[in-house]
Every structure is written in C-alpha cells, then in structure tokens.
Structure 1
Amino acid sequence: MTQRATVTGGPFLPQRRRLVTEIPGPRSRDLLARKGAAVPRGVGTTLPVFAVAAGDGVVVDVDGNSFIDFGSGIAVTTVGNSAPRVVEAVTAQVQAFTHTCFMVTPYDTYIRVAEELNRLTPGDHDKRTVLFNSGAEAVENAVKIARSYTKRQAVVAFDHGYHGRTNLTMALTAKNMPYKSGFGPFAGEVYRAPLSYPFRDGGRDGAEAAREAVDVIEKQVGVDNLAALVIEPIQGEGGFIVPAPGFLATLAEWCRANDVVFIADEVQTGFARTGEMFAVDHEGVVPDLIVTAKGIAGGLPLAAVTGRAEIVDAPHVGGLGGTYGGNPLACAAALAVVETIESDGLLDRARAIEKTMKERLTALRQSDPRIGEVRGRGAMIAVELVEPGSTTPDPDLTKRVAAAAHADGLVVLTCGTYGNVLRFLPPLSMPDHLLTEGLDVLERIFEATR
C-alpha cells in the first residue's frame, strides 16, 4: 500500500513516532485533573494522554506527542481515523441533515447500508439487516430476534467471550472484572459452554472440542429450550483466541440440525480486520445471524444485525428499532468504509500486516520463553505472556510491557481472561515504516524486561 499523508482539519499529519514531552505531558495532566473532577472513575483510560489529531498510523496528543497506533480505538478505525472517503461522505451528509429518525421519516442511506451488508455477509440466502448504535445493542437485539423466531428462551455463550456491557450482554460475557463485578443480577436463561482454546487444550482438535461443548449444552440446557448460540469467531477481550479448525463449523452444523440460531458476534472481527471481510469466512461458516459494529463506520456509532430473512422478519412491526439506530451520518460513513475496503484492497493489506507481524513476533518468541503463543489473523494479532516454560499466565509482565510501550510512543492494548495478552490492532491504513517501527519498539521492550 502506498504511504500517504492524511488530512485532519486541514494540515497533513506526519506519519512518525515523536515524543516531545514525558508521558503524560503537562497539558494531558491538566486534562486528567479535569477528567477526575467531571467524569466518574468507572470510565478508565488506557493511555493518560488526550488526542487532538489522528490518521493513518498515528495519534497526536495535546502536548504534540505522536504515537504509533496499534489499537485503532479497539478495532474501530480499521480504514484509519480520517479516511478521505469517510470524511467526504460525512461532511456532505451533515450539510444535508443530521437526523430525522428512520422510524419517523426514513432515508435511503439506511437501506443502502442494509443492502451492502446483505451482499457482503456470508451466504447467498435471502437476508435482512437492521441497524443499531453499538455492538452490545446489536447482540442484545440478535438474541431478541432469535427468541422471537424460535419461541424458546435459553441462550448459550462461551468461555472467555465478551459481548458487551448491557444487562443481557454482561450475562453473556464471561469475564467478571471489570465488566460484571457488582452490576448484577443479570438476565436469566443464559448458559456457558467451553471454548476451543488451542494454547491450553493440549492439541485437541476443533471438532472434538465442539462435541464437548455440545455435550454440555445438551445436558445443562436441553435443545428444546435453546433459542441461540452466540460466539465470537475469534475471541476479542477474551484474548484473541482462534478456535481450532472445525470448532465453528461443527457447532454451526449442530445448530442447523436442531433449529438453534447460530449467532456470530463479529463486532471486533468484522470488516476486513482478519484478512477476510468476516472472520467466519476463514472457516467457511455461514451464520444464521451476524452481528457487526466497530469497524463498520470508521469511528461513527453504528451496528447491525444481518441474517436469514425468515429469522430477522420474525419480530412484530415496531419490535425492533431505536431513536438513533442507523443515524444518517453513520450510514454515510459505513458506505464510504465499504468502498474504501473494496477499492483500496484492504483485505490484502490485512494479510500483509499479519505476515509482517507474525514473522517478527514469532522470531521474538523463539528467543523469549515468556511469549507462550503468537496468534490471530490479519491485523488482529496477539501474544500471550506466561511464566517461562509453562502456560501459567503472567499479567504483571503484560502490564509492564504495555506501560513501557505507551511511554515509548506506541499504543498497545491488553486483554485476556487472565490479563496476560497483548493485542495489536493496527489500522489497515498504517504505512509499512510505522508498522516496522512499532515492532522494533516492542522488541526493545521485551529485551529490556528480561
């Protein structure tokens, strides 16, 4: 991909890592004090800096520091923070109108987004799409749709899964801290099954792991009670866990045989992030419902549920919707995102990023036994950190490496049920020299922490 400067408010944004103050700088420290006085402490931040500009591969803070962005706003800015087509489309839309509510006086861009999602998502069956504001809201509505269609109530989610912060999606989410602790009681009729976790499964194949999950479901829930199975094709917050081949396909086949709705939560994995448009495409799996958000609209709030027409059409008229769902600005952005992915060859770009990152990180793993595994797909790569020679998680090392990266001008995120996974989500617009430099920074940090 050719390197280009990005227009953000007029000037070109240099694509470089540059530290001019300590981290955080004085202006960010002032804003942190104001945040503490105005924003509840429950809203945490990964880096103690405040952004004023961002684009392609960098985020610039109020003190003039420029960070290499291996976070993409948690997989949101896949096409970049200020992709030209997105900026142009949103600017034109905001000049026309910002809102009418699709449920009051509809507009064609909502329909166009639905048509694009019906085209892009796996399977050639008849589909329908409904738009929402966030991933959690979309997951919750996917469950509503499945319950309405099947006339059943039970829902199964999986170990290590993350699905959101609403009451129902907290129940679906596996990790207690920080997402669930103290916030119950949660929605009922939610059950959990074991996930395929190759690093910790001792070589068990995917089909075998799926049969174990099915055994748990049949014994603890009962097929006749089960409306839906909800799963991330690659776990996000759970640690970028890629299930063993055959796991997803075996579960999907079992769902079809038992009239259970198979819901793929592609909130973090969708829209070219993994080197395919959707992560299930790697396994040839066609979900009944697919949930998307994050990378769908270049940073504007939008989410969707797309699926088989007979399933999505099950709820009664007025049963689906929301005041802001399918906001016209977000719809304009989403159409521009799809055009950017397809016109700029971003599926290939994601695969190239995977190759670069895995080669470098795998070489680092060979010399550093604290790196238990390198995994992921596309521009969704992670390393799991452990005590040398074991699978014992090392969350303290993970925190130290992340903090050192932040201080050295590199945005990285942590995740994992055990808090011991570094995850890397560079925007697909990142130029090669920044990708390489970010990996150089990581390599130096691992060497310094031995």
Structure 2
Amino acid sequence: MKPVRVGLLGLGTVGTGVVRIVEGHQEDLLNQVGSPVSIAQILVKDRSKGRNIAIDSSKLTEDPWEIVRNPDIDVIVEVMGGIGLTKEYILEALDQGKHVVTANKDLMALHGPEILAKARDKGCDVLYEASVAGGIPIIRTLIEGFSSDRITKIMGIVNGTTNYILTKMSQEGAAYEDVLKEAQDLGYAEADPTSDVEGLDAARKMTILSTLGFRSNVALENVSTQGISGVSQEDIQYAKRLGYEVKLLGIAERQDDTISVSVQPTLIKHTHPIASVNGVFNAVYVHGEAVGETMFYGPGAGEMPTATSVVADLVAVVKNMKLGVNGRQAQLSYNVLKLKTDEQIASKFFLLLHVEDRAGVLAQIAQVFSNCDVSIESVMQPSLPNTAGAEIIIITHDASKAAMNNVLKSFEGLKAVRKIKSIYRVEG
C-alpha cells in the first residue's frame, strides 16, 4: 500500500508535535485514510542541532526547494512561519501540484486570497485550521458547520498572551508591566511583545475569521486595531465594580450587506461566557441567524493543541486525495466587501473622566452627551479622598462610533473635563 508522503517545513515547537502525532498514530491514520502517512523530508535550519525527538537524519535538509520540488512529496506541511519566502515556497508547491497545510496566520491574513485562488486553479487543497485559535476547530466550523446559516457576528479572545496578562491583572491586581514581564519569562510573550499587546496578532486572526464568516475578502487594513498597553489597573477595577471583565476582543459584525471588524480592549458582562475565559485559553463566539448563539473554547497555542489541528487538516487532505476531490473546497470569497461607516458602527461605551470637583460639572457633561445624541445608561462617581478633582464613570446606551467621536471632541473644549482617561467598547 503506497504511503502518502509529507514534506514538513519547520521542526520547531509545532513541527515537533506534528512528527509526534503522525509517527505515534500510524494505526489510527491508516484506519482513517486507508493508507500509511509518512513524513518523508523535514526542513531545518541546522541539521547538526540536537533535538528532543528522535529523527532519522537522512530526512533532514536545510534546502526548502529540495522538499518543495521533490516529485515524490504529496503534501507540504508548513509550520516554519514568516511571510515573504514562505509564500514563495507555498506557491511553488501548488505549481508542482502539491497540497498544502499551513499554520501561518500572518501569511493567510495577508495573502490568503491569492494562495487560495492559486490552489483552486491547480486543483490543490490549502488548509489552515491551525492558523487561528490553536486547537479549536473554528475554521472548519465556519466553512462547514455554518455553511447553511448566515453569520451575523464573530467575537472572540484569539490571543492567549493578552488574555493571560488581563487575567492576572484582574485576579491578582497586578500592574500591566509586571505581568508582561512574567509572561515573557514564562514564554507566553516574545522579547518584543508588540504584535501581541498592540493587537496585531489578533487582528490577523480576525482578518481570517471574518473573511470566512462573511465570504468577503477582508484585508488587515480593514481591521480597526487597539491593544492593551493602555489598560490600567484602575480601568479593570472600575469595570469589575460595574459587573464587567476587560478582555481584548476581536469583533466582526454584519448587518445587511455591510460589515465591521475590530480588535480592542472591551468590557464584557461577567455573565457572558467569554468573560470567564482566563489565562492563555481562547474562545470564539459565533452568532448565526438560524442557529443563534454558539461558542467554541480551548487552548489557543502550544505544541500538541496546534499540531493536532495541523494533522487534522492533513487527514482531510488525504481523504480528499482518496476521493479525487482536491481543490474543490477552496473557500473563495464571493461577496463584495462593504465596510460600515462610523455612523453605522454602534455599541455601548465606557468612559472614565477626570474632572473638576465642583457643582454643575455633571450637568455640563450630560449636556454634551445630549447635544451629540448619546443616551447615558449609568453614571458612577467614586470617592477619591485627598485627590484634586474627581472621577466620573459613564456607560452609555448604544451609540454610533461617530457620535462618540463628537462627544470626545466636545470634551476637549470643555474646561470642566481635565482628562479623558479611558474609553472602551461594552459588550454583553
């Protein structure tokens, strides 16, 4: 029985997990796909490097083209990361008639439409479940599970590093800088944490999810992005007093034929299931017109969870090979992208204002909201003994982003408002 031969690009954390699963689950794979699955070649940076897994050294190569152009390789599994050269390898693999499984969120967020179009032209599969939310099968769910429904909202925690930081800040009262250093020491955050803490990683994942969910080619620049570096312990404690948790949420919404996609620190009601997702775990909430509310929860990263998603895609590719249907499931977008304007994007908002401590200030602030046609849901003025000025916390009813921008602009010219300390979206 001829085995399906796999070329593995990358033998880091996830690549090692892929080898462990494929070599350790041969009987299961044989029963699922009807033939052995063999990792024939592996791309590494240094063949002489010691490894924590036994590998036949004859399978190792430092030349990616040796794998990509090997006529005996059926499937390329890419877990090396990167964008420029990696894109070249994948496009060449497709030109060579090879199927591709990738865990590369950056590549698929930036060049997904081009790669998927090439795959369809060549009759090849490109599957990328592991690019978003690690071990959670959210991509397959959006493509297959919701194929008969119309998705109206995707909302999720899709970055474990920022969720770990915000969880520690909420549960232990720790400062942002201290928790970030701890996350770096534990390996959850990179030495340069910008991609995580400024929301860029989450934005790339929301690009992928919203493109699939709404069948429109959403680009990274279409995602309004704000990170957590400005979130203070004060914000989190006030949110808790009001019954909310602060989470970095990716939010994609569709109304009629217009959509909006954002990543931002958000107050989520403590009764919402996403509010209880802590540590490095991920969760994705999906609302469909027919099914209503659903939520998917699990580990968002790590060797084995991510490798599990990669191998699940590999199994799907091999099954398609046996059926002769490769390349027929490429998810090309067919809806014209229409983005919501600021007038159409609406939510509740949380504001923390530092104001003068004198009579009439609250009335002036309320008048600004009234002038901008924004309704106030609740107001709280915490006691601040031995402090100059006062703080006012406001949660609005649903208001457009444009109206809130007008409120903020009006506050800039209002002497009674010394500083707009925080403003966040409110959900749940």
After TM superposition, the score normalised by the length of structure 2 is: 0.25
Bigger radius of gyration = 2
What TM-score, normalized by structure 1, do the two folds share? 0.24
Greater fraction of residues in strand: 2
**Relative contact order (alpha carbons < 8 A, sep ≥ 6): 1 or 2 greater?**
1
